[in-house]
Homo-oligomer: A and B are copies of this chain.
Amino acid sequence: MPPGQDGYVHGYSDREHGRLVDQATTLAELLHHDTRYPPGASVLEAGCGVGGQTVALARASPGARFTCIDVSPRSLESARERARAEGLENVAFQQADILDLPFPESSFDHVFVCFVLEHLPRPDRALSCLRSRLRPDGSLTVIEGDHGSALFHPDDADARRAIECLVTLQARAGGDARIGRRLFPLLVEAGLREVTVSPRMVYADSSRPEWVEGFTRRTFTAMVEGVRGQALAAGLLDPATWERGIEALRRSAGPDGVFCYTFFKAVGRR
C-alpha cells in the first residue's frame, strides 16, 4: 500500500496494472505455496493493491474469509473486478489506511501483507498497527523484495545504476526498496514472536524460459523501465547511461544470461 497516489513510485497506469498481474501470476507459487489458512479463519490482507496476490491467497484457503484493504479506490476497483472474474466468494474489499485501521483490536485471526511495507515511511508503525488487530497467537505474514539482491550475468555497472535509480526514487517517496533483508528485526521489534524468515530466490536462465519471460523481462526489467521518466527528470542518470543499463538488463534475459532476485517471507505470531 502506497502512502498516497502521487507518492507511489510504480504509479497507477494501465501498463503498471498489467505488470503487477504478470508478476503475481509468475510468483504466486514461489511466494504463497506455504500460506494456507484454515476454514473459518478471518484474514486481513493489508494493501491488496490491484488484487495481484488476493486470488492466489483466497484460492489456496477457500474456507477462510478475507478482508482486503487498500488506500487507493482505483486499485480496489481493479481488485474487485478481478475477484469477480475469478469467481472468488470469500473476499471482501474495503478502502482503508494501514495506519488508521477501521477495525477493533484482535479483529483477525491472521494478517497478510505483501509488497506494501517497502512503500511506507514507517513500516515499524504499520507493523504495530497490524499486530494490534491480530488475536493473541494469530499469525502475521509479510513478503517483500530487496532490490539489492538483484544479481545478473553479464554483470553491468550501468544496469546497477539504473536499479539504484529505483531505490533512490522509492527512498525519496519515503520507502525502502531494500527492505526485504530487514524483515526479521522489523517484526521482532514490532513485538511479533517466533519470527522466521525464508528467502525465496527467483533464478532465471534460458533453461527456464517462463521465468526469463515472466520475471526477468516482464517483471523486473519492466519495473526499472517504468521509472525512466522520473529517473531522468530527477537527473539521477543521463539518457545514454540509462539506455545502456536497460540494454544490459535485457542481455541478462538472453541465451547466455542469468538473472537472480530474492524475496523475503517472514512469519511471526502475536
Q: Which of B149, B196, B205 is within 8 Å of A207, CB to CB?
A: B196
Question: Scoring A residues 186 to 197 as 1 if CB is less than 8 Å from chain B, else 0, what string do you get?
Answer: 001100000111
Do residues A207 and B195 form an inter-chain contact, with CB atoms below 8 A?
A: yes
Q: Which of B182, B256, B260 contacts A199 (CB 8 A)?
A: B260
Task: Decide yes or no whether A243 CB sits under 8 A from chain B.
Answer: no
Identity of the chain B residue whose Cβ is nearest the Cβ of A184 in the assembled complex: B205
Contact (A178, B155) CB under 8 Å given A195-B207, A258-B184: yes
Task: Tell me how many residues of A have a C-beta within 8 Å of chain B.
Answer: 29
A73: Cβ under 8 A from any B Cβ: no
Q: How many copies does the complex hold?
A: 2
Residue from A152, A155, A203, A205 whose CB has the most chain B CB atoms within 10 Å: A205
Q: Which of A244-259 contact B (CB under 8 A)?
A: 256-258
Query: What 1/0 mask marks residues of chain A from 231 to 270 whose CB sits below 8 Å from any chain B CB?
Result: 0000000000000000000000000111010100000000
CB-based nearest B residue for A205:
B184
B148 touches A148 (CB 8 A): no
| Residues of chain B within 8 A of A188, CB atoms compared | 256
Query: Known contacts being A185-B256, A189-B256, is A151 close to B262, with CB within 8 Å?
Result: yes
Since A148-B155, A184-B205, A199-B201 are in contact, a sample of 17 more A-B pairs with Cβ atoms closer than 8 Å, ordered by chain A residue number, is A146-B151, A149-B151, A151-B262, A155-B178, A184-B206, A184-B207, A184-B258, A185-B256, A185-B257, A185-B258, A189-B256, A195-B207, A196-B207, A197-B203, A197-B205, A199-B260, A260-B262
